[in-house]
Amino acid sequence: MNILICDPISEKGISLLQQKPEFDVTVQEKRLSEDELLPVVKDVDAMIVRSETKVTKKVMENAPNLKVVGRAGVGVDNVDVETATQRGVVVMNTPSGNTISTAELTFSMMLALARNIPQAHMSMKNGEWNRKAFKGVEVYEKTLGIMGLGRIGSEVARRANAFGMRVVAYDPFLSLARAKALQVELMEPEEIYPIADFITVHLPMTDETRGMINAATFAKMKKGVRILNCARGGIINEQDLCEAIESGQVGGAALDVYETEPAPEDLRLRKLPQVVMTPHLGASTEEAQENVGIEVAEAITEYLLNQTVRNAVNVPNLDAKTYEMVKPYLRLAETLGKLVSQLAPKRVEKLVITYGGRATEAPTDPISRSVLKGFLEAAEGEEEVNQVNVRSLANSLGLLVEEIKSNEETDFNEWLHVSAVVSGKTYSAAGTSFGARHEPRIVRLNQRPVEIVPEGVLLLMTNKDRPGIVGHLGSMLAKHNVNIASMSLSREQQGGQALTVLNLDSVPSAAALEEAKGDPDIGNLQIVKL
């Protein structure tokens, strides 16, 4: 079997592949463009890439023997995953290779920040001896606020506990039992800001987390707090951070990631002596690079020789016939998971996935994994979640997952129902597929019958069932230049409360939402993005 290594990986990873007599391994010395790849891939069974090489639809169409693509890293933006899935090509990544290296960098940065090590080092290099200028603080018995307790945040927490720190954390998806096992106190951000001596960010980049650490949050923090970010550039507003440091509200910062990378030469942060900076070194250790190379080599080997799947990001272990059977459900399942994750509070205790009608005859595991993928993306970030790791991620959050096959009679030949249980309260959505193209539809929302096209921006609300309410809603949104694509209305009784769901062409402005919230006939306003 022919294996093509398109981008540099560790020598140990290459050696592992070369030791297998079944493999013929080719290592490209330079990055190839799409056109240059076409003649090279015609006989390959596997490709290994980092971020440089693009595995496009055209490349895969010219690789009839291609069975698997291994990405030595987390993101798979350079691989056309949809085309790979359609062609039965497994796409794997290496999500755990840089966990320890990033956690250790974070802790190293915190110690350097606490003791002014980089500044003292430069002073010594300049021939100075200025002990008084670099008096620092101990981390012992200080409070560390961790924003996000995923793989890396959890490792930082373990190291902080060993150093005798008090660890408090914000992670809206982590169960209380899991937090207790990590010896961490779960809190809301508003509770962390006034008490934390150090705050470190380990959250995925989402619409919700982008710019979440800003001027308003700095103002709520303990004066002299020290800030760390080795996760994603853009979670911290750099302009606001500069101003908070210059005013003395923030005592210093240690950054490995930036809003723009490479960081521009005139970046204002470079001029602040209180800021420790590194050029995105989270995964830049010999061990991390070696681990990633070994991990992708082992995953490729296991799949090609034993059909064992590790860290796949698409539907990996289904034959063509089975895939065709479950394919109509996968998009619906992921959409339902994504919808319910936005309907329910974040700290969900149990997720119940119910199969009805012909759906009970389909293999449930890949469908349930698709539900979990949609549901967990808000918690972990799209890059971190895939079809294979969703069950372990759910387990790490303390989320129970239950699957049920129902004989309930409905108006639909096949349907899926997803419920999130929080403190005895249930938030749910059900869906089915219509037509030869299996277009998904939401047909039940919190037990209310609806018919919703699950795409784009949805505006959910309850409203008084009265004449003219539809026109009133349309006029209100039109005033704010928001167009309605479609509408679903569901009422319990005439003149009572109705559930209205609008498909919108754009997200309403804050002013539009405030006006709607102020209307006495409208309540429970919620925006959902699918």
Using DSSP, state whether 221 is helix, strand or coil: coil
CATH of domain 318-406+413-454: 3.30.1330.90
Quick one: 295 exposed, middle or buried, by C-beta within 10 A (0-12, 13-18, 19+)? buried
What superfamily does domain 456-530 belong to in CATH? Answer: ACT domain (3.30.70.260)
Q: Looking at residue 318, what is its pLDDT?
A: 56
CATH topology match: 318-406+413-454 vs 456-530 = no
In CATH, 99-277 is 3.40.50.720: yes
Contact 352, 344 (CB under 8 A): no
Contact 527, 457 (CB under 8 A): yes
- Lowest average pLDDT, out of 1-5, 194-198, 372-376, 379-383, goes to 379-383
Tokens of 457: 């921006």
Contacts of 128 (CB under 8 A, 6+ apart): none
How much is the average pLDDT of 106-118? 97
Q: Looking at residue 388, what is its pLDDT?
A: 66
Q: Looking at residue 51, what is its pLDDT?
A: 79
Q: List the chain domain ranges.
A: 1-96+283-316, 99-277, 318-406+413-454, 456-530
148 vs 313 pLDDT, higher one: 148
Q: How far apart are CA 376 and CA 402, in angstroms?
A: 15
CATH of domain 1-96+283-316: 3.40.50.720
CA distances from 441 to 178, 331, 377, 383, 430 (A): 35, 11, 21, 26, 9
Q: How far apart are CA 155 and CA 393, in angstroms?
A: 15
Most confident of 176-180, 242-246, 288-292, 455-459: 242-246
Q: Looking at residue 317, what is its pLDDT?
A: 52
For residue 316, pLDDT beyond 70: no
Q: How far apart are CA 152 and CA 231, in angstroms?
A: 9
- Known catalytic residues are 232, 261, 280
Q: Among residues 175, 106, 87, which one has the least CA distance to residue 146?
A: 106
